[in-house]
Structure 1
Amino acid sequence: MDQPRLLDGRLKLRHLVLVDVLTTHGSVIAAAAALHITQPVATRTLRDLEAILGVSLYERGPRGVTPTLIGETFTRHARAVLAQLTQAGRHVTELADAHRGTVVVGTDPGGANELLLRAIARLKVERPQLSVVIRENAPEALSVELGAGRLDLIVGRRGLTVNESETQTPLYTEPVGVFARAGHPLALRPAVSFAELQTQPWVIPGVETGLRRDVEHLFARHGMPLPENRIEVTSPLAVRQLLHDADLVGLLPASVGYDDPGLCPLPIGLSVKNAITVTTATGRTASPGAEALITTLRELAVEQCHLPDALPRVTPSRAC
């Protein structure tokens, strides 16, 4: 593949868009439906692109298509180009009127934490004409969306592994505790062992959430499998409601559990912490609206003494 083949006028934006969608869906039929074009048009567009590049981008199979190594590489470049063009359009709009525009924020299910919601509320007071969109998805899917320019930033709990194309900025670290309803038998105990907790009915984070991996590691460190008697949910609010309604135990961020007078933290020490970060695409200039939201997030984190790598000041509001 040499440079003239990409700059001789044959390569069109529709080729890049198709590669992005086709790699995401793994099916020409699904990609055509997503782009609102017919399957023959999608097939012909792909064939034209492969002729321009002089290589095959996908392996065809009975259940769809799979990108080759070259296909995966070209997809990353295509998404980077589309992301830059998307950002360019937003920049033009927002530079013409800094109080307008759209910021798209990604977060894992249940990850729209209090700080993010408060930051959006404050930003809307300052910039009422700025639109803010929150999209929930699994961490891996959020990374794809960020790389493709469909997200401006990701706010929430992220893993320790950072992609080369991403930059993470810590906001604060919040402890996670084991909670139960105030009348739960274990809430009256002076101490609870992890072995006792493992036999209890649990509410644990769903596999789509970033916290799920830490829960699995927590049980693994104690040489125990996940509880068989369990309910899996993605939303902390759903966890809280279930703990209210039954004799269950579950993990909750301190800000959610301690603020609920109907719940009690169980007397057991955990090493699980909820690290909240802002993730942006490396090397991509943020739009004025996105920059404003990031600034507001950091301001609120400092105001609440939620400094990077420091535990928040959380005090139980009552005795259980």
Structure 2
Amino acid sequence: MNTENDFRRLMGRLRLRHLALLDLLGKDPNVGRAAKTMHMAQPTASKLLREIEDIFETVLFTRNRRGLTPTPAGKVLARRASILLAEIQATHTELRSALNGGTGHLRLGVFPVGVTEVLPQLYAALQNKWPGLTIEIEEAVETRLLDQLSEGKIDCILGRIVMENLTPDLRHEALYNEPTVIVCSTRHPLLAANAQERVQILRNTHWMLPARHGAVYNMVASKLAALGIKAPQVEVETTSVFVTIELLNHTTLLSILPKKVALAYAELNKVALAPQGDLESNYPVGIMYRAEALSNPIINLVLETVRAMSGSIAADHPPA
């Protein structure tokens, strides 16, 4: 399909239920399970798939005893179907907002490191520049949010930029570097230990981290490796600063926080910064978005705003 007439024919035949089936088969290439999710009989779903392949004039899935295997064209269309459905959902949400007096809707993902400083400033600026804009915020670990960004389920992300996790469809802009430190209870034995004792405590203590993989985990693992200690034993996974603070105060777990956040809670005697607990990081804090999102005026405003903010924020985060 490479002519305008082909595209017009596609627009005349393609239906939302075709996109829904492609999206489901892209996630789980099993017609039976897809049919059940779409509340239709399996033969109906199989017929629907044949319709899609007829519309695009190519095989999208090969059949075998174990089910279906997507062809390269099938993978492309399944991914694009997911994005289109997410955009339709976003359109529905924005329309409902407009009917209630809103002027736009932003779906924003944030890693924990982006919450305390960038998010409040961005929110205040957007409310000033785009009155009536509603903002839907989801906080999660990097891999989950990056998947949602690629699928079109969120518009952009504030957080640490980990280049090896970015897929070709994503773009990024770095804002500043945020030092990260190890934190613990104000009564943790680590605080009174000498250098040799600290190594032994670090070797035996369990950790509370956002995930058992990713940027933060790698930072902690590198710190421990430099001391001859194996990878951190993660006992609790959480992205919540509140949960982190509360659990630290009732356990001997160790965790991490952005240094400015840690210092603020340390002044309140809620946490303590571990001795020699600064973590090296090659992951700047910034914004990530899909390339095609630049056609969205709200995303352009977000980018314009964070660029204007970056100078003052970076000045508050001089290199260590």
Task: Normalising by structure 1, report the TM-score.
Answer: 0.76
One of 286, 290, 304 as aligned partner of 1:281: 290
**Counterpart check, 1:182 vs 2:186:** yes
Aligned counterpart, 1:318: none
Q: Distance in 2 between matches of 1:56 and 1:138?
A: 36
Q: Distance in 1 between matches of 2:13 and 2:218?
A: 46
Asked whether the 8 Å contact 2:102–2:133 carries over to 1, the reply is yes
1:118–1:64 Cα change, 3 Å: farther
Q: Distance in 1 between matches of 2:141 and 2:36?
A: 23
One of 299, 302, 306 as aligned partner of 1:293: 302
Please, which moves more after superposition, 171-180 or 22-31? 22-31
SS in 1 for 2:279: coil
1:289–1:119 Cα change, 3 Å: farther
Aligned counterparts, 1:1-320, within 5 A: 7-8=8-9, 9-28=12-31, 31-32=34-35, 40-60=43-63, 65-78=68-81, 100-108=103-111, 110=112, 113-119=115-121, 121-123=123-125, 125-126=127-128, 127-161=130-164, 162-189=166-193, 191=195, 194=199, 196-207=201-212, 210-220=215-225, 222-228=227-233, 230-260=235-265, 261-268=269-276, 269-272=278-281, 275-305=284-314, 311=318
* Residue identity in the other structure for 1:186: L
1:262–1:87 Cα change, 3 Å: closer
C-alpha RMSD over aligned residues: 4.0
* Greater per-residue helix proportion: 2
**Residue 278 of structure 1, CA deviation:** 0.5
Q: Distance in 1 between matches of 2:155 and 2:218?
A: 25
SS in 2 for 1:55: coil
* Residue identity in the other structure for 2:76: T
| Structure 1: 5+ residue stretches without partners | 314-320
Aligned counterpart, 1:317: none
Please, which moves more after superposition, 71-80 or 43-52? 71-80
**Residue 77 of structure 1, CA deviation:** 4.5
Q: Distance in 1 between matches of 2:61 and 2:141?
A: 25
* Residue identity in the other structure for 1:157: R
| Structure 2: 5+ residue stretches without partners | none
1:229–1:189 Cα change, 3 Å: same
1:205–1:89 Cα change, 3 Å: closer
Q: Distance in 1 between matches of 2:64 and 2:212?
A: 29
- Aligned positions, number: 310
1:88–1:263 Cα change, 3 Å: closer
**Residue 206 of structure 1, CA deviation:** 1.7
**Residue 15 of structure 1, CA deviation:** 2.5
1:230–1:144 Cα change, 3 Å: closer
Asked whether the 8 Å contact 2:13–2:55 carries over to 1, the reply is yes
Q: Deviations over 1:63-106 (max 9, x none)?
A: 764423331133344456667778899999999xx971100112
**Residue 21 of structure 1, CA deviation:** 3.5
Q: Distance in 2 between matches of 1:312 and 1:190?
A: 28
1:116–1:59 Cα change, 3 Å: farther
**Residue 200 of structure 1, CA deviation:** 2.2
1:15–1:140 Cα change, 3 Å: farther
